[in-house]
C-alpha cells in the first residue's frame, strides 16, 4: 500500500568518488532536504513504463501487479531532487519503489545492495547500488573492504557546504571515461596510491567524528583536480583553483561530477558565504523516523 507521506531522501557522497566504482571505500549520508515521494498530482516526474519492463526482464522481485494497478490509478513519483545533480535522484526513486513493492524484504544488506544495483542500472547503465541503499535505510553508510557499516547519526565536525553550480551535468556517462583513464599507468598509480589512501584516512576521521585537517582537505582537492579534470566543468575550475591557492576553502566532487552540486569544505570562517551563491550548509546527520534495520550478513 502506498504511503504518500513517506519521503525518501537524496544522498551526499562525502568521500569515495570513483574509488567506490573500483570496490574502494566510500562514505555517504542521507540529505533529507531534497526527497522523492509517491503522488497523484499533475507534477509527476517519472513514467514507470520503461523501467517496469527492464526490471521484469532482470527478474527483480517486485509486486508488478500492484505497481501497474497503482500507475493506472494515477500514482507516480514526485521529486524535489534535481536530476543529474549528484544527489542520487534515481537512487531515491529505486528506494521508494522497492520499499513499496519489493517482495524480498528479509534479506541481508549486501543482497539488497545487489538488487538496487540491478534496478538502478536502468537509469545509469552501471550502478553500485550504493545510492538507493542510503535512501532506503535512511542512515549514514560506509563501505570498506566489502563490508557495509551504518550509523543512525553522524556529527559533521568540519564546516561543509553544498554548492549548486547551476550547470547541467554532461549527459554522457563519466564512469567509462574514468575507467579508460585508469588504464594509464601514471594515472592508475596516482589514483590507487595517493588518492585512495587519502580517501581512506578522511573516511575514518569523519566516521569517528574527528576533524579532518586543512592540509588533508586541500590535498584531496588538489588530487581530484588532477585526476578528475574532465569531470569538472570549465566554469567550476576557477573557484576550485582559487580555493586551493587561497587555502580558504577546499572543493571536491559530489558524486560523478560534470555539473550539479559540488562539496565545499570551509577552511577560513566566513569565506564560503562571502564568495558563493546557491549554497546549502550540510548539517550533522541525526536519527530520523523511517530508518530501516537489516541483517549485515
pLDDT tens-digit profile of 107-153? 999 999 999 999 999 987 778 889 999 999 999 999 998 899 999 99
Number of residues written out for the chain: 297
118, 151, 184 - which closes a domain: 151
261 SS3 class: strand
Give the pLDDT band of residue 189 (cuts 50, 70, 90). Answer: very high
Structural domain harbouring 184: 160-281
Kindly state whether residues 137 and 214 are assigned to the same domain: no
What contacts 242, CB < 8 A, 6 or more positions away?
none
Output the domain CATH number for residue 276.
3.30.70.890
Task: Kindly state whether residue 237 falls inside one of the protein's structural domains.
Answer: yes
Instruction: Say yes or no: 129 and 246 in one domain.
Output: no
- Determine contact, residues 206/156, Cβ cutoff 8 Å: yes
Q: How many angstroms separate the Cα of 275 from the Cα of each of 18, 32, 225, 271?
A: 28, 25, 20, 6
Q: Are residues 249 and 266 in the same domain?
A: yes
b/e burial code for range 82-115 (CB count within 10 A of at least 16 → b):
bebbbbbbbbbbbbbbbbbbbeeeeeebbebbeb
Residue 93 and residue 56 in one domain: yes
2-54 residue pLDDT tens: 999 999 999 999 999 888 777 789 999 999 999 999 998 766 666 677 899 99
Confirm whether 3 is domain-assigned: no
* Domain match, 14 and 143 both: yes
Q: Are 141 and 149 spatial neighbours (Cβ–Cβ below 8 Å)?
A: yes
Give per-residue pLDDT as tens, 142-167: 999 889 999 999 999 999 999 999 99
Residues 115 and 190 in one domain: no
Report pTM: 0.89
In a domain, 290, yes or no: no
In a domain, 198, yes or no: yes
Q: Which of 11, 7, 17, 8 minimizes the C-alpha distance to 29? A: 11
Residue 297 in any domain: the answer is: no
Together in a domain, 27 and 140: yes
- 188 and 144 share a domain? no
In a domain, 87, yes or no: yes
Tally of domains within the chain: 2
Amino acid at each position: 500500500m502506498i504511503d504518500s507521506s513517506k519521503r525518501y531522501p537524496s544522498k551526499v557522497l562525502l568521500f569515495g568518488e570513483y574509488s567506490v566504482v573500483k570496490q574502494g571505500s566510500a562514505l555517504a549520508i542521507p540529505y533529507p532536504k531534497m526527497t522523492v515521494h509517491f503522488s497523484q498530482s499533475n507534477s509527476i516526474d517519472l513514467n514507470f513504463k520503461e523501467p517496469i519492463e527492464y526490471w521484469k526482464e532482470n527478474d527483480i522481485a517486485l509486486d508488478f501487479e500492484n505497481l501497474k494497478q497503482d500507475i493506472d490509478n494515477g500514482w507516480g513519483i514526485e521529486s524535489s531532487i534535481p536530476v543529474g545533480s549528484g544527489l542520487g535522484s534515481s537512487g531515491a526513486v529505486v528506494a521508494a519503489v522497492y520499499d513499496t513493492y519489493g517482495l524480498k524484504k528479509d534479506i541481508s544488506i549486501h543482497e539488497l545492495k545487489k538488487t538496487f544495483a540491478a534496478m538502478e542500472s536502468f537509469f545509469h547503465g552501471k550502478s553500485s547500488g550504493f545510492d538507493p541503499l542510503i535512501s532506503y535505510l535512511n542512515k549514514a553508510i560506509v563501505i570498506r573492504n566489502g563490508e557495509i557499516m551504518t550509523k543512525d547519526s553522524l556529527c559533521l565536525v568540519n564546516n561543509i557546504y553544498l554548492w549548486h553550480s547551476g550547470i547541467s551535468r554532461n549527459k554522457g556517462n563519466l564512469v567509462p571515461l574514468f575507467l579508460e583513464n585508469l588504464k594509464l599507468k601514471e594515472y592508475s598509480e596516482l589514483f590507487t596510491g595517493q588518492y585512495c589512501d587519502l580517501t581512506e584516512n578522511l573516511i575514518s576521521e569523519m566516521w569517528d567524528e574527528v576533524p579532518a585537517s586543512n592540509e588533508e582537505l586541500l590535498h584531496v582537492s588538489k588530487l581530484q583536480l588532477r585526476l578528475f579534470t574532465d569531470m569538472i566543468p570549465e566554469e567550476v575550475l576557477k573557484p576550485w583553483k582559487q580555493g586551493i591557492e587561497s587555502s580558504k576553502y577546499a572543493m571536491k566532487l559530489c558524486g560523478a561530477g560534470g555539473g550539479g552540486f559540488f562539496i565545499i569544505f570551509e577552511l577560513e570562517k566566513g569565506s564560503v558565504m562571502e564568495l558563493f551563491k546557491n549554497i546549502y550548509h550540510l548539517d550533522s546527520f541525526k536519527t530520523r523516523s523511517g530508518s530501516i534495520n537489516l541483517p549485515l550478513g
